[in-house]
Structure 1
Amino acid sequence: MLKLEDLDLERIGWAMQDDHSLGAEFYLNLDTGEIVIPGFEEDLAMEDIEAGNYAYIDRIEPYESYQHMEDFAVSLPDGRARTELEQTLIRSHPFRHFKDVLGSFPDEREAWFEFKDRAMRVVIIRWLVGIKAIEDPDHGFGNEDRTD
């Protein structure tokens, strides 16, 4: 079993958020904690993945990313930033518009990145626990891993 502190959670999060437009698939080596990409790693083929101890890193669902944006928007105090961000969530292309609106609010933009990092940490830890790569760090995720 791997140890949470030995894993690159940022890289796992990046893999979970990759749009797979380049055809890359990401796997977590359950022995070493390394993220591997068949076809891109020099000596790694799909046969090696299938024969080894690897877990496919699923892409985070768009509804989960949308929920993170919604949770962030409602966490803001009443004001222009909150209003504009909430409005982006009911428009077409909410992901693009959310990013665009954050560009006008530097403090909220920085807060968004911190919020999103915490939210992704919860997603990643739940996934790692679910695939039995790590033990549940606190049997139900304590306040340090919650976004609400």
Structure 2
Amino acid sequence: MIELSKEQIKEITERLEIGEKCFVHMHTQELVCYPDPLKYLDFDEEFYQEEMQKVEENGQDYLEIEGMDSREGFQLMEDFAQQLTSSSLQEQLYRALSQKKPFQHFKHEIDNSGEYRQIWFAFKNQKMIDWVKVKIDQFNQAWEE
């Protein structure tokens, strides 16, 4: 069973946010993170060799916590727009999400939304924390069965 501290969950969310792969040792709760080779084509594998080798050689002892895929990230942006009280920003975000390159357009609108930019980051951070907790809970439920 995996039981992580708030600090560990926060670290996982931060690492996932920057495109790293995160693994939790099922018995020791040790976190092992390194850049995702699919997202960082030019990262120095030698620098992360020890972490990568730990997971590769003992993969059965680690649970990978995966980040949101693009569909889930899109849903997160929609959820944020839906809960807004500012109808003008809400309309701008819905418009951004309906265009080609919705992530880019959403980011542009958020970056130019004044105080809502920080509200977005707080919203996203909390949802990412919830995401990691759900992944751990799902693993623990499967482990118990």
TM-score after normalising by structure 1 = 0.72
* Equivalenced residues, count: 129
User: Counterparts of 1:15 and 1:69 in 2: how far apart (Å)?
Assistant: 20
Partner of 1:28: 24
Partner of 1:9: 9
CA shift, 1:56, in A, is: 1.8
Once the two structures are superposed, what CA deviation does each residue of 1:9-61 show, in whole Å capped at 9, x if it has no partner? 12222344454xxxx643211223332147615365144332x5211222312
1:114 aligned residue (108, 111, 122): 122
User: Counterparts of 1:98 and 1:79 in 2: how far apart (Å)?
Assistant: 15
Runs of 4+ in 1 over 4 A off after TM superposition: none
User: Which stretch of the first structure deviates more once superposed, 6-15 or 117-126?
Assistant: 6-15
Judge conservation of contact 2:16–2:67 (CA < 8 Å) in 1.
yes
Judge conservation of contact 1:89–1:98 (CA < 8 Å) in 2.
yes
Partner of 2:140: 132
Partner of 2:90: 82
User: Counterparts of 2:9 and 2:99 in 1: how far apart (Å)?
Assistant: 32
The alignment partner of 2:58 has SS state of helix
Judge conservation of contact 1:29–1:35 (CA < 8 Å) in 2.
yes
User: Counterparts of 2:132 and 2:112 in 1: how far apart (Å)?
Assistant: 30
User: Counterparts of 1:43 and 1:11 in 2: how far apart (Å)?
Assistant: 16
Once the two structures are superposed, what CA deviation does each residue of 1:116-141 show, in whole Å capped at 9, x if it has no partner? 112112211110011118x9xxxxxx
Quote the sequence identity (%). Answer: 24
Judge conservation of contact 2:25–2:61 (CA < 8 Å) in 1.
yes
Partner of 2:58: 49
Aligned residues: CA RMSD: 2.7
User: Counterparts of 2:107 and 2:125 in 1: how far apart (Å)?
Assistant: 15
Larger strand share, 1 or 2: 2
